[in-house]
Chain A
Amino acid sequence: ELKVEQNPLFLSMQEGKNYTIYCNYSTTSDRLYWYRQDPGKSLESLFVLLSNGAVKQEGRLMASLDTKARLSTLHITAAVHDLSATYFCAVASLRGSQGNLIFGKGTKLSVKP
């Protein structure tokens, strides 16, 4: 059974600082997703990572995937208040299918001035 663990679950950062959120998963998978959720809102897709060594960047966020270590990271560079949100990773539990995604519990990020 695929398990997905994120850490930390809560993260309080100062503006301008860098930090990394980690997403570990327990069995082999061929795709990993990162999402952002603002309080009381729906989810917004950030990145889809498909292969070992994949790296994607959007603004101050950079996601990477190491399939051998079963680890994805979401790196935040020079955090700003607008990045405050909850970030989820999700892993596909079936190869060749987008059907069954298993989500982590989320990392609640708070960026303070």
Chain B
Amino acid sequence: NAGVTQTPKFRILKIGQSMTLQCAQDMNHNYMYWYRQDPGMGLKLIYYSVGAGITDKGEVPNGYNVSRSTTEDFPLRLELAAPSQTSVYFCASSYYIAGGQTYEQYFGPGTRLTVT
């Protein structure tokens, strides 16, 4: 298994540009997540998905969009990039059934994004 993969690893954007961060998992996990981590800080949840076709906002969703058309993929779209979106972005996945056993989250390697 490759686990959770993210592309690209690094990206520099100009203000106002758009891009999509790709995330894929091959563990048949139902939950997938996007976090951002600013320097010296913990992670903040942007969006998450409990299964294909279902997404929900986290703490900091403004300026981002997501979709989940398959179990495996969960892309994050940045529209009109702003310097405040400079951060490291982590995708994660887990398997969870309410009332059942809780499993750990698996994180991807991250995408380092700079907006100038």
Q: Complex: how many Å from CA A88 to CA B108?
A: 16
Number of interface residues of B (CB under 8 A): 28
Q: How far is the CB of A64 from chain B (nearest CB, A)?
A: 17
Pick out which of these stretches binds chain A: B13-21, B38-46, B69-77: B38-46
List the count of A-B residue pairs having beta carbons below 8 Å apart. 64
Which one, A42, A96, A105, contacts B109 given CB within 8 A? Answer: A42
Q: Are A43 and B42 in contact (CB under 8 A)?
A: no
Contact indicator A31/B102 (Cβ below 8 Å): yes
Residues on B with C-beta less than 8 A from A101 are 33, 45, 105
In the complex, what residue of chain A is closest to B99 when comparing beta carbons? Answer: A96
Closest Cβ neighbor of B98 among chain A residues: A96
A100–B42 touching, CB < 8 Å: no
Contact residues on A (Cβ < 8 Å of other chain), bracket = 20 to 34
| Pair B43/A45 contact, Cβ less than 8 Å | no
Closest-CB distance, B45 to chain A (whole angstroms): 6
Binary A-proximity of B18-40 (CB < 8 A = 1, otherwise 0)? 00000000000001010000001
Cβ–Cβ < 8 Å partners of A88 in chain B = 42-43
- Assess whether A45 is in contact with B106, with CB atoms less than 8 Å apart: yes
Give the distance to chain A from B30, nearest Cβ to Cβ, in Å: 9
Judge if A63 is at the interface, Cβ distance under 8 Å.
no
Bitwise interface map of A from 95 to 112 toward B, beta carbon under 8 Å scored 1, else 0: 011111111111000000
Q: Which residues of A contact B59 (CB under 8 A)?
A: 100, 102
Shortest A16–chain B CB gap in Å is: 28
Give the residue among B43, B94, B107, B109 with the most A Cβ atoms within 10 A: B43
Q: Is the CB of A97 within 8 A of B98?
A: yes
Of B42, B99, B102, B108, the contact of A103 (CB 8 Å cutoff) = B42
Contact sample, A vs B, 19 pairs, CB 8 Å cutoff: A31-B102, A33-B105, A41-B109, A42-B90, A43-B90, A44-B107, A45-B107, A48-B103, A50-B102, A88-B42, A98-B31, A99-B33, A100-B48, A100-B58, A101-B45, A101-B105, A102-B45, A103-B42, A105-B41
Interface residues of B (CB under 8 A from A): 31, 33, 40-45, 48, 50, 56, 58-59, 90, 92, 94, 96, 98-99, 102-110
